[in-house]
Structure 1
Amino acid sequence: MKNLKLIMLAFLAVVLFSYEGYGQRKKKNSPVFSKVVYEGKDQVYIDNPLSENEFYNPIIQGAYPDPAITRKGDDYYMVHSTFAMFPGVPIFHSKDLVNWRQIGHVLDRKSQLKVHDTGISAGIFAPDINYNSNNDTFYMIVTQFAGGIGNMVVKTKDPLQGWSDPYKLNFEGIDPALFFDEDGKAYVVHNDAPNEGEERYEGHRVIKIWEYDLEADQVVAGTDKIIVDGGVDPAKNPIWIEAPHIYKKNNRYYLMCAEGGTGGNHSEVIFASDDVMGPYVPAPSNPILTQRYFGDNRKNRVDWAGHADLVQGPDDKYYGVFLGIRPNDKGRVNTGRETFILPVDWSGEWPVFENGLIPMEPKLKVPEGVTNKRGEEGFFPNGNFTYTEDFNSKDLDYRWIGLRGPREDFIEYTNRGLKINPFAVNIKEVKPTSTLFKRQMHKNFSFTTTLDFKPQSEKELAGIVCLQSEAFNYVFGVTRVGKDYMLVLERTEGKGQGRNRTVSSEILASTNIDLSKPITLQVKATGDDYEFGYSLDGQDFRNLGGTVSGDILSTNVAGGFTGTLLGIYATTANDAIPD
């Protein structure tokens, strides 16, 4: 019996090891990355230097879409969508709406985030964060398209101390938001499909409201009601009314939503009612925010503006955070949907985003009494900046994320740098990958890392990956073919949609490489032109593969909802093998 128990324990250990590490083995020759340098060099910031009382818009560059914001006293908290990235839902803190510090992630445990087997653009959609002064509690409600979860809520008394495990909510649809009324009652609003049999056209959606039971953390069955059917003008068949938020001002209830879809027709619209359950009447001058009326050739183009949330600022004015894009010279959206802010004029009956209906500018005036710290003192940088990571601290910067699984499952700190213990998973698979990512935050940038690695077979590869998704990416790394060490550049591109999608990979270039010393790898871009290079002395770089297109790294080419992720990558399931 004792032997049987030992055998069973050994079997269980193997099963758990295989599940947790996806075939990971700690290898003696695992790659070590000793330094990463990211440098942004966008022309817009060179042409528009800041004056003493200005700050840049977007406030959070790169793929931090779908912002939602709340306030407790003098503290502001903001969250964003993260899809299959792990940890999920970055949370930022500010005292003034100008200087932001990331304080962690809301969903940082496997018990909260179950995206291990989902595509990069599934997972976490459109979080909403709200502070309930009636019970001194913060709530984050979100749709998780993974793990059989759907709509869920987590909560905390202090965002710095972590969040609860999810409470699964009993309703369909997406983009839920909570509203806490002054009388202590709570409500959920969300996007949903029309009632069965009442769909009128493609993209027809509705906004629903439910009463919410704060004791049970659940919507109250039978209280659901459609409060917007289609959008502002149902006769025009408006599409994708979504991302609702309710606000209360002067004893009236205001319902703000996105309309038009997250693309060129994106906009923000507003309705009002004397009762939280409706009926809601649209403002006569909708939309209150959009960039859809302007030509593609405008300078410093911002587009796709919408999916907004409002908050009162430190100067008692209202401000709205929202997503937008800044396409490159070829109209590509490689930096993804970013977070912008504008002041909101709510001096009359209806709120309107100031300068939100004219072409947006790259700079704003700071609120009165606020100083722009320009990314110093631990605040999140924007504009042009250089970020250097030496991996000499075990408190890894929050900007580094994994894909479908925790970073801690594959990283190891050494006195030589950061070791990545590779999974037997390559970047094209829908599984957790042993890749440490940060977001591309500029159109013009360089991303450089030093790698110490001697692969033992063609199945081993380590280097850089530029990733839009599992079906659209570049891999630039070191592998082995026979007795030769090889540096290889591979392009992977999907064709078609859904189940009809096929994925093909092409080796664009390769070369024999001397790995007697660490090698430095680099990707750099000027707009849509990407170049990959390597250096054996850390200074003089040789190009491999010429100039390649960034097309497959663009949201509007690859589809989905993310921007480009730049990663340091290792695998023992390599299939990028040169002839």
Structure 2
Amino acid sequence: MLCVTANLSAQNKNDNMIENPMLWADVPDPDIIRVGDTFYLVSTTMHLMPGAPIMQSKDLKNWETIGYIFDKLTDSPKYDLSPTEGTVYGRGQWATSLKYHKGKFYALLAPNEAGAMGDTYIFTADQAAGPWKIVSRMRHFHDCSLFFDDDDRVYVIYGTGEMMELKQDLSDVIEGTHRQIFQREADETGLLEGSRMIKHNGRYYLMMISHVYAPGRHRREVCYRADNIQGPYEKTTILESEFGGFSYEAQGTIVDTEDGDWYGIIFQDRAGVGRVLTVMPCRWIDGWPMLGDEEGKVPARVRPLKSGEPVKSIVNADDFSNEKLGLHWQWNHNPVDKAWSLTERPGYLRLKTARVVPNLYLAPNTLTQRMEGPKCTGSIALDLSKMKDGDIAGLAAFNDNSAVMAIKKVGKRLTLELSEQKVSLSQREKKVEKVDVKVVESVELKQQKIWLRIDANFVPRTDIATFSYSLDGKEWTKIGGNFQMTFDWQRFFMGTKFGIFNYATKKVGGYVDVDEFAYNKHQ
């Protein structure tokens, strides 16, 4: 454990602490395990590909993405942004369960879809970074927890207190093993999901998010425990705390350290940036894993496990000099692999138009990264010389409500346009039904290279993005006004992302070259 000596200044003490949110970015539905001295975290990324990111840390402070459980999902044309079949905006991979058992990593996930698209996947890998391979597919389990017991029997706990046993080879469930291991209490009438089960000192602990929709009631994390996995279970509330001027926290899990200390990792809704992760002490009191500080509140800062760990981040700048795309990037839906390259012009990301589409929300190969709080800045440099008539390329604050800095090629003319765009999706198939576009400002361009920048402010109750462009990479000119970033669980269910895009509205064949993505996180 880190020891902070008395002669350190207050500033240095703060520098050595984990400031909550631990990850001030969109990292919802966490599951976390420890193997040796390393923590591994998985999160939900829904319609982004590759999916189910695995993040790694030695100190619970510095996190990096080391791999993904899958590159693509291919069950339906929806994963490819089909204009007729629909999309998977806000669907796709949800709430993956991550486990380590007898030298192997396991992950169980069920896309939030109806029918066969929602079948559960079980993956395994020798290393957390992958490669991962599919073990089996079976019926849908909502917000589930995979659990290996000490006797090697395997279970999936899902929904609201439902459980089934799996075959030893994980090929399927054992029919006839379905159990309702507890019943809702009379007041437990709202949200009760997000199962995460562990075993500690011979007891079974199932943690869930609970939200009773009634005046004076708050979101909370509850825990069910039993001496036998079949029950009977008793329940208590282990966390009921707001934090940082935002709503009450819940959904996550607990993890131990090599020294036997315990921590809780719980997410919190934070509007435009998405759902962020907080870390807090977990204290075993009367056999219950109570979360928070001594008053049961989420602390503003937590002491890291180690000192001297290198600074790492899940959001990063990129000069595109590597022949492989960095793990900090994800595509919007499945990419068209033949339509992008890091090798055709070394040091640049080439984005080719892949098919003719009517709008950004159906455009393949939009490349995204998370935004971070409290404030962050991302910018790109674009070579526009190979755009064709009807091509549209640029940088967006990308979400269901987006602000889009786009260079449009019309004939031989180039125009920079800032617009606000709002997508309407059908409820069931998530088809792109309509995109409302409000043009805020336009500027005619006389050159073939441009720099575009987004400044994002997620200071509590702000969620503002502003936009600038430069003709030389040095002097910046603001375009448009303040854009209010939002969060809509019925559409994308995701925080706003940086989105780099290029698509054709008339004919394919054009491309743009992205010179770099510059990035800074700041106070």
User: Which bracket does the TM-score occupy, shorter chain normalised?
Assistant: 0.7 to 0.9
Q: Which residue of 1 aligns with 2:254?
A: 310
Which amino acid in 2 is paired with 1:141? L
- C-alpha separation in 2, matches of 1:262 and 1:480: 50
Comparing 529-538 and 140-149, the one that deviates more: 140-149
Q: TM-score, normalised by structure 2?
A: 0.83
User: Are the counterparts in 2 of residues 207 and 226 from structure 1 also a CA contact under 8 Å?
Assistant: yes
Match of residue 476, structure 1, among 405, 409, 419? 405
Q: Deviations over 1:444-478 (max 9, x none)?
A: 22221111103655520111021113xx2122111
Q: Which residue of 1 aligns with 2:265?
A: 321
Match of residue 33, structure 2, among 66, 70, 85? 70
- C-alpha separation in 2, matches of 1:448 and 1:433: 21
User: Shift in Å at residue 416 of structure 1?
Assistant: 5.4
Q: Deviations over 1:250-303 (max 9, x none)?
A: 3222221111189994321011112101121113xx2x12335x8xxxxx3343
Which amino acid in 1 is paired with 2:65? Q
Which amino acid in 1 is paired with 2:483? S
Q: Which residue of 2 aligns with 1:380?
A: 313
Other structure's SS at 1:433 match: coil
Other structure's SS at 1:121 match: coil
Change (3 A) 1:94 1:524: closer
2:309 is the alignment partner of 1:334 = no
Comparing 104-113 and 79-88, the one that deviates more: 104-113
Which amino acid in 1 is paired with 2:275? R
User: Are the counterparts in 2 of residues 169 and 218 from structure 1 also a CA contact under 8 Å?
Assistant: yes
2:239 is the alignment partner of 1:289 = yes
Change (3 A) 1:188 1:478: same
User: Are the counterparts in 1 of residues 353 and 503 from structure 2 also a CA contact under 8 Å?
Assistant: yes
Q: Which residue of 2 aligns with 1:401?
A: 330
User: Shift in Å at residue 138 of structure 1?
Assistant: 1.4
Match of residue 571, structure 1, among 492, 503, 507? 503
Within 5 Å, which residues of 2 pair with 1:132-281? 132-133=101-102, 136-145=103-112, 148-165=117-134, 167-170=136-139, 172-191=140-159, 206-230=160-184, 234-260=185-211, 265-281=218-234
> Which of structures 1 and 2 has the larger relative contact order (alpha carbons within 8 angstroms, sep 6+)?
1
Change (3 A) 1:227 1:358: same
User: Shift in Å at residue 163 of structure 1?
Assistant: 0.6
Other structure's SS at 2:369 match: strand
Q: Deviations over 1:527-555 (max 9, x none)?
A: 3332222111111112222x1322xx311
Match of residue 419, structure 1, among 350, 355, 367? 350
User: Shift in Å at residue 510 of structure 1?
Assistant: 0.9
Match of residue 130, structure 1, among 96, 99, 102? 99
Q: Which residue of 2 aligns with 1:535?
A: 470
User: Are the counterparts in 2 of residues 455 and 479 from structure 1 also a CA contact under 8 Å?
Assistant: no
Q: Deviations over 1:457-512 (max 9, x none)?
A: 5520111021113xx21221111234421111121124697379754112111121
| Unaligned stretches of 5+ residues in structure 2 | 1-9, 82-86, 508-523
Change (3 A) 1:261 1:440: farther
User: Are the counterparts in 2 of residues 457 and 479 from structure 1 also a CA contact under 8 Å?
Assistant: no
Change (3 A) 1:350 1:456: closer
Q: Which residue of 1 aligns with 2:482?
A: 548
Q: Which residue of 2 aligns with 1:196?
A: none
Other structure's SS at 1:334 match: helix
| Unaligned stretches of 5+ residues in structure 1 | 1-46, 192-205, 295-299, 327-332
User: Are the counterparts in 2 of residues 63 and 337 from structure 1 also a CA contact under 8 Å?
Assistant: yes
2:489 is the alignment partner of 1:522 = no
User: Shift in Å at residue 319 of structure 1?
Assistant: 1.2
User: Are the counterparts in 2 of residues 98 and 372 from structure 1 also a CA contact under 8 Å?
Assistant: no
Q: Which residue of 1 aligns with 2:55?
A: 92
- C-alpha separation in 2, matches of 1:558 and 1:252: 38
- C-alpha separation in 2, matches of 1:124 and 1:208: 20
User: Shift in Å at residue 87 of structure 1?
Assistant: 0.2
How many residue pairs get aligned? The number is 479
Identity %: 24
Change (3 A) 1:57 1:410: farther
Change (3 A) 1:478 1:145: same
Q: TM-score, normalised by structure 1?
A: 0.76
RMSD over aligned CA atoms reads: 3.0
Change (3 A) 1:461 1:494: closer
2:85 is the alignment partner of 1:116 = no
- C-alpha separation in 1, matches of 2:239 and 2:422: 35
Change (3 A) 1:442 1:467: same
- C-alpha separation in 2, matches of 1:557 and 1:179: 29
